[in-house]
Amino acid sequence: MASDEHTDSTENQARQAKATPLADPTHQLAKQFGDALGETAAKPIEQIGQLIAKCGLEFVEKIIAETEATEASGGLLTHDRKRRRSKGGVFFYLAKGQMDAGLRGEIFPNFGKGGDGSIAPPGIEWGDRVEPMKALGAQPGQISGLTVTLSGRPGKLHIDGSSVMTVIEQRQVKAPPYPKGVPHFDTVDGVTAYYVFMSLRHWKRVEKALEDERDLLVIEGSAVYDGALEGITILSTRVSTKMLEIQKRRAKSQSERKPKSHPAEPRSEPDGAPADQPDLTRWPTEAIEKLQQLYSAAEKLRRKLAAMEAGDQQTSLKMTRRLLIQTENQIANLRRQYEK
């Protein structure tokens, strides 16, 4: 009888072990990552564990570091742009975009399917767009408001009183990663001219910054088709540059942290940048933005570590330290790339 009970117990343990697809250390690590991402449900924890097991711990730590940097720079919106993704949502979005397609199908079997689990139908082909769009033109809707954002280098200027005019051309548009349903294309050839009008007061604010040829003009405003010019006219309401926007965010970050600092503490650089802030004058704009995101993410991780150490939260300390090291390594690699 005792032998039968032992056999039943052994079989139960075997069934339980079989029902748990992840080894216990991997599951515990996945749970720690899930806590850091705000994901506590069983399914996302299991998926994080599978990412660790199949893609490697280094891959998961890299994606979490990128998630922290993305969150620090304002996060990501959902495809319909109606709300901001959760921290866990950002993590899974980045992970799915960077992993092998075969592994992605194993870990996320519903990837590319509709919300009800059905296969999402393919969107319209780019070449088939003309006929239905022309037919729809017989019953158009009405715009109540439209704001566009244009970034690029300005052309030759014409100043007439308080008006500043320039033409900016768009050539050979390449398709970014659009959501399902929006047609994809390899390249659209040709030139689209944008006729830009801005105030002299706005232009004077950016004129000095644009002497750096790597900086980009950023214009927000209304877009209308101008039949006389046979192109799109941009009537600007806000004018800035990429570098001025970065400086503005850094100043805001410094201002928000200022009351929290103890008078006796040394003041840190904006966005968590170290005292040996590199000379960014020769860096491309996208590299500067990436560096600032990483600095901000590293600073948040340092604060999190300090809070954990104060509260003796030993369980999550090791993981957070590893994330900080990963982020600092990314900063060092970026600096080595552009400080040669």
When mean pLDDT is compared over 85-99, 172-186, 263-277, 289-303, the highest value belongs to 85-99
pLDDT (mean) for 94-115: 79
**Residue 71 near residue 36, CB atoms below 8 Å:** no
84 Cβ contact partners less than 8 Å away, ≥ 6 residues apart: 75, 76, 77, 78
Selection from 29, 16, 23 nearest residue 320 by Cα: 29
| Tens of pLDDT, residues 253-290 | 667 665 554 444 444 444 455 555 666 666 776 777 77
pLDDT (mean) for 171-186: 71
CA geometry: angle 96, 100, 103, nearest 5 deg? 85
Q: Are strands 231-241 and 187-199 parallel, antiparallel or unpaired?
A: parallel
3-class DSSP state of 96: helix
What's the rounded Cα separation, in Å, for the pair 202 and 210? 13
What's the rounded Cα separation, in Å, for the pair 17 and 206? 64
CA geometry: angle 87, 28, 99, nearest 5 deg? 50
| Rg (the chain; Cα; Å) | 26
Kindly indicate the confidence band of residue 175, based on its pLDDT and cuts at 50, 70 and 90: low
Mean pLDDT over the full length of the chain: 78
